[in-house]
Amino acid sequence: MSSLQRYADRRVLITGGGSGIGQATVLRMLEEGGRVAAADVSESGLADTVAKAGDRRDRLSTVVVDVGDEDSVRRGVTDAVVALGGLDTLVNAAGILRSSHFADTTLADFEQVLRVNLIGTFLVTREAIPALRQSDSAAVVNFSSTSASFAHPYMSAYAASKGGIQAMTHALALEFSKERIRFNCVQPGSISSGMTDGVGESRQSVGPGLPADADFSLFGKIQSVLPLEDGGMFAKPDAVAAVVAMLGSRDAYFVTGTEVRVDGGTHM
């Protein structure tokens, strides 16, 4: 448990806040004293986040948002900013993962991944900019992935979406530098989440569903080198939430236009 209180004066909007890393980030920033709006397409996921917030739930508000739908994003961001009374940190954690042999990938599945991951990040960020401009220490943390820079088999659509997010983050960091809005990415890898575990009922927390005949020898290069306490393959979501909390806080005042890998040394 963190004893830091870096968010005591910060208002935070976190998409994908109903499960996995997004939910862990909500709980981390509440723990650090923040006022948080959790957004997710899943009402039951948001209810679970509220339940886990415990006695900190008085600083938590929720909003149902489909990040791939422009009207939903407009309403959701507006409602979140009103509930928070402004906005200092935006975390774009919502995302989906579809896995398949490239030759078998449908256009619909490829487009859906881009719609939720890349376009969703664009839409939420665009709608949040007016509120972020009113902050004296604004920060945006986007979710790229180790798949944006390193080969992950059967995940071409996901890799394309995350590469796009990473490139867009660099462009925005420069465009808004004079307004002192910082933009950074995290690159999770080997992390347990709603996507890797296949939990969650929504189209924004869908499991990887690897092909039945997947060649698992291809995954040898994406295993963590750091040992995990339970001996499993994936670290807990709070490993990423801690890094997001740093990047979204005033502590990272001189960090922008970069990405931080959180992968247990997989890609040294």
Q: Which residue has the tokens 């796009």?
A: 164
CA pair distance 219, 214, nearest whole angstrom: 10
Per the structure block, which two tokens stand in for 198? Answer: 């296949």
CA atoms within 13 A on the CB side of 212: 0
Separation between Cα atoms, residue 186 and residue 171, nearest integer Å: 16
Identify whether the C-beta of residue 108 lies closer than 8 Å to the C-beta of residue 199: no
158 is an active site residue = yes
Helix intervals (H) in 16-148: 20-31, 43-53, 70-84, 107-113, 120-132
Tokens standing for residue 225:
């080198």
Among 115, 70, 77, 72, smallest CA distance to 96 is for 115
State the burial class of residue 201 (Cβ atoms within 10 Å of its Cβ: 0-12, 13-18, 19+).
Answer: middle
Place of tokens 């807990």: 236
Q: Which positions are annotated as active-site residues?
A: 158
